[in-house]
Structure 1
């Protein structure tokens, strides 16, 4: 019988395997070639990304991140109001999550043998399910789109029906199944044929009822708050939709990939409405702690039992890297931090403060039309002004391409105030704020002060801002 050596003896003193080859040195590689980042990406990855970033002046070089902030090579501090599209729920490099990953690597576990049952997946599933006690089982994948794919497959198999309903303007992912329930034609164009699907307007119960009467609907998938445009489901819609679906033996799938894990001031966004108990819930993004890709699809016992109905079907749905030890450790650490540091309560209180302070500006600025959302998921919408001077400029922008004014706000927020934000979807005059859930009152002050300055500049006819608008107009016209 061979006894394995202790973990610390499996490599040489520097942590690498012994041998005659040159050791890999990540720090040295970054020091030598980190300055080539934009050229490397343009040559070998997506050539349009560096082009786009340079066009709008977003081609920054960030060197370090911590919490809700990061720093460039000159030591300038930036406030992150984007959180990596929601991935950085706890901010960057939370010490508890970081330590958990060091610990799991040092443990040298026999991970991903695929023919055993490791403890970490069961422990994370158990912990996740405490936040949705009406659900029973969890499938672990690697991304939000995988979580959605799992839910779509499980719903179709469990009901024996092919068609899935989704809401207009929804975003559920970009793989083929999730793309089938994506409400943005720009993402879908050129990738047909997709799954049998039908869009319904968000909140339209009559449209839902009409489709359900056809008898072939497996499920409705819905974001309780849509990421694109930050539109919340109308009060009472989720509960009424759930009742309709169950009357017709169809399922409710809640896509909480972006809204889940405290983002909206409750653990899940569907929990803002009493009596809503989705049959399947999709989770990802913030569960990673910003380190290791991980997703989870939570569901009811009977659904999982139908999918995994016999030993012959034990691997009928699986993922090569699903439930790996690093991902499970990150997820457990994230949930621990959320509980111990009252992350959900902070998202609720700080979000209410930020939203109220922004809403107070609506009467002050004619270009500002709405502030909406929940918790730390806030949409700022711009609209047609009333004064003649601003109206003519607004019309010029809209004629070139809808969404350019929102981009004109995002750019000076970064370039002049070092605050990173995003336009909330193609052709939308909406900025979406989804900062790390650890932002504080000082961060709120900083954002509101900067946003006020940008709005003052826009309404006073500030040359730099509107000059940049002309650049965007030329770019939009050139791409037609």
Structure 2
């Protein structure tokens, strides 16, 4: 007979040493090879707030936050308490021929932050929320077309991938969804040309693009909203990464005083524990999809309104409000951007620091001095964007900071920490970047020896 208390944490400890072997055998062997190549296979054992701890007990500052899901930090006690209360309550979860009380509460609280919208549809992930948005836009307008921006990222499911321009993700899976057209980010003339056909159901845009942390001009989002209104196109703000306080406002579009017809949320809404996505929209759009009783379930998702996901969302909103994390993101983000920006004049490889709140891009670029230029060109000829690994790997190994490159072939490192980081954490980041960037300007040096290793690996992969 199965024990009443199955101790999964004990199972984790017993099998931890076999994690790479199990993944190589049963899951993604290539990911294991990547982690070992760049020295990231340290065996994380614990997460608390903005920190991770490896098998030796060393503490790391997490500037990746699970691609943005841990806005309130890992294992927040309020979130854990909320989930435990659901598990201990014997709630009638997912009856399906019933309506969920917790879903009603979460929808009500989300709409308090976005009062110009009226209805919420829940899904299981960001990509699934994008899929719902495509269906809703087409169903509400009767039009086939969807316009998205170059350099965008909206997810990897079939419809969402059709709105994601990166060829590294699209290759091998085309042809994708018909009727999807890309226009350059920040190009209102190109957008108007696309919308003027009056065949476009929706324009979907990340207010700040995640791949590259590309910023809109002050005119772009308000102008896009006006064009959508002019041509009867639904304006969708994909706030899956930028929302929930990440940029120092609850929604990033608030920086530009824009009110979209749809807002997409996910990632941070989960609290990092139970996946959830939310599509917020106008009643006029929603009612065209669910317009009769026989169409009450014309779109849905089996697990979307499960009690654990709804409780995670409710608890996350409570933490964000109680701990004033939106305001904290604005303050800490401004301080960190200023500190990093002050380094730009001193380093020829460092080009720009940009972003809002705690969504920050640190961009590098070709140097002018001959010795550095020669080393840069060797890296770029082997693999475009490889230089950033010369920054992220030493940040991890030497300074215990986990971060990521902002996309394939890019020279930008993205900082996406929990909104709970402290003044001391920001000083840690500043010291680490200053040291690693300084080392990258020394040729020959340890960092460029790493570069040679990465170049050799890139050449072997392409052979």
1:201-232 per-position Cα deviation (integer Å, ceiling 9, x unaligned): 00111111111122210111000000000001
Give the TM-score normalised by structure 1.
0.94
CA RMSD of aligned residues (A): 1.1
Aligned match of 1:265 in 235, 248, 266?
248
Say whether 1:324 aligns with 2:306.
yes
Q: Which residue of 2 aligns with 1:217?
A: 200
Q: Which residue of 2 aligns with 1:461?
A: 443
Cα pair distance change 1:21/1:348, threshold 3 Å:
closer
Q: How many residues align?
A: 461
Q: Quick one: distance in 2 between partners of 1:72 and 1:337?
A: 27
Q: Quick one: distance in 1 between partners of 2:96 and 2:288?
A: 22
Q: Which residue of 2 aligns with 1:245?
A: 228
Residue 21 of structure 1, CA deviation: 7.2
Task: Indicate conservation of the 8 Å contact 2:390/2:440, yes or no.
Answer: no
Aligned match of 1:206 in 185, 189, 192?
189
Q: Secondary structure at the match of 1:135?
A: coil
Q: Which residue of 2 aligns with 1:298?
A: 280
Tell which deviates more after alignment, 233-242 or 342-351.
233-242
Q: Quick one: distance in 2 between partners of 1:379 and 1:318?
A: 36
Cα pair distance change 1:160/1:460, threshold 3 Å:
same
Q: Secondary structure at the match of 1:373?
A: strand
Q: Quick one: distance in 2 between partners of 1:162 and 1:425?
A: 29
1:60-88 per-position Cα deviation (integer Å, ceiling 9, x unaligned): 11111101001112211100011110000
Moved over 6 A (4+): 20-23
Tell which deviates more after alignment, 460-469 or 397-406.
460-469
Unaligned runs of 5+ in 1: 1-18
Aligned match of 2:408 in 420, 426, 439?
426
Q: Quick one: distance in 1 between partners of 2:458 and 2:205?
A: 32
Aligned match of 1:78 in 60, 83, 90?
60
The residue correspondences of 1:38-187 to structure 2 (distance < 5 A) are: 38-187=20-169
Q: Which residue of 2 aligns with 1:394?
A: 376
Say whether 1:358 aligns with 2:340.
yes
Q: Which residue of 1 aligns with 2:19?
A: 37
1:124-145 per-position Cα deviation (integer Å, ceiling 9, x unaligned): 0000001111100001111100
Q: Which residue of 2 aligns with 1:479?
A: 461
Q: Quick one: distance in 2 between partners of 1:375 and 1:21?
A: 47
Q: Secondary structure at the match of 2:362?
A: strand
Give the TM-score normalised by structure 2.
0.98
Give the number of the structure whose alpha-carbon radius of gyration is greater. Answer: 1
Q: Secondary structure at the match of 1:192?
A: coil
Q: Secondary structure at the match of 1:181?
A: coil
Residue 118 of structure 1, CA deviation: 2.0
Tell which deviates more after alignment, 247-256 or 456-465.
456-465
Q: Quick one: distance in 1 between partners of 2:2 and 2:45?
A: 33
Aligned match of 1:375 in 344, 357, 368?
357
Aligned match of 1:447 in 421, 426, 429?
429
Unaligned runs of 5+ in 2: none
